[in-house]
């Protein structure tokens, strides 16, 4: 029955819906690109930004109504991962579009997160088609299986961020690149977090000029062993069972 309904009318309706969402995505991406300062500003560009923002608001309002109808229908069962992403991909671009009309600078603060939500949501909406649904399902199942090791890695990243941030707060980096001192990539918690995150990929560039300190070197070796040798191999083993 489900296959019959899908072939009879549901597929056509969903293709139309995907088409509208694709127009929504293109309009939002065009608006933020033109509004980014990367394109020479002028009256024509400003009119285009406003036009694309109107499309974002119009289609976003339609998608919001659809989400509200789902909330009413499913109530407490509505708030799942997919629906939260749907909400984020609808509300955040609309906030940006409102900011365009208000000429407010705060709209730029949401652009990056908004773009991420919109792109991810568009990909997830393709899951009803077999060609996209199977890979998406496999990726979700892989994540479910490996979330334990991922949480452990995240905890280690947080721990090392705290450790190195404190160590570098009272340790002087003495190495030079040419005539310039090496930049301290652990001067703030944010920079420390980014630097430690790249440790997972084997990039220890943030520690340049500090490997002469035995504590720093030992901690880096322990981190590399725990993540690259142990946890990543555990991840591979768990993923192989799913695929």
The reported pTM is 0.68
**Residue 2, pLDDT score:** 54
**22 with 28: CB under 8 angstroms?**
no
**Residue 27 above 90 pLDDT?**
yes
Q: pLDDT tens digits for 199-212?
A: 877 787 777 767 67
Please name which of 28, 23, 190, 52 lies closest in space to residue 114, comparing C-alpha atoms: 28
Residue 175 — very low, low, confident or very high, per pLDDT cuts 50/70/90?
Answer: very low
**97 with 53: CB under 8 angstroms?**
yes
Cβ density class 36-53: b for 16+ within 10 Å, e for less: eeeeeeeeeeeebbeebb
CA gap 224, 213 in Å, rounded:
17
Mean pLDDT of all residues in 128-157 = 80
- Which residues fall within 8 angstroms of residue 179, CB to CB, at 6 or more apart? none
**Distance in Å from the first CA to the final CA of the chain:** 30
Mean pLDDT of all residues in 20-27 = 91
**Residue 26, pLDDT score:** 92
Mean pLDDT of all residues in 22-47 = 86
* Angle, in degrees to the nearest 10, between helices 81-102 and 11-34: 40
Element housing 180 (H / E): strand 180-181
**Residue 178 above 50 pLDDT?**
no
Residue 177 — very low, low, confident or very high, per pLDDT cuts 50/70/90?
Answer: very low
Residue 7 — very low, low, confident or very high, per pLDDT cuts 50/70/90?
Answer: low
**Residue 107 above 90 pLDDT?**
no
């Amino acid at each position: 029955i489900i296959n019959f309904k899908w072939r009879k009318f549901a597929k056509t309706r969903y293709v139309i819906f995907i088409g509208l969402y694709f127009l929504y995505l293109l309009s939002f991406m065009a608006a933020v690109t033109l509004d980014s300062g990367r394109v020479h500003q002028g009256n024509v560009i400003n009119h285009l930004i406003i036009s694309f923002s109107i499309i974002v608001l119009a289609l976003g309002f339609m998608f919001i109504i659809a989400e509200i109808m789902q909330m009413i229908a499913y109530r407490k069962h509505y708030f799942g991962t997919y629906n939260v992403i749907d909400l984020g991909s609808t509300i955040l671009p609309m906030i940006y579009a409102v900011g365009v009309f208000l000429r407010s600078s705060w709209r730029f603060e949401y652009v990056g997160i908004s773009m991420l939500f919109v792109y991810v949501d568009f990909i997830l909406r393709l899951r009803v088609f077999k060609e996209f649904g199977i890979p998406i399902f496999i990726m979700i199942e892989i994540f479910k299986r490996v979330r334990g090791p991922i949480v452990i890695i995240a905890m280690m990243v947080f721990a090392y961020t705290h450790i190195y941030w404190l160590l570098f707060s009272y340790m002087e980096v003495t190495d030079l690149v040419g005539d310039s001192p090496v930049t301290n990539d652990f001067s703030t918690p944010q920079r420390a977090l980014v630097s430690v995150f790249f440790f997972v990929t084997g990039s220890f560039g943030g520690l340049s000029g500090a490997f002469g300190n035995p504590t720093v070197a030992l901690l880096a070796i322990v981190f590399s062993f725990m993540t690259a040798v142990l946890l990543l191999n555990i991840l591979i083993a768990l993923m192989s069972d799913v695929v």
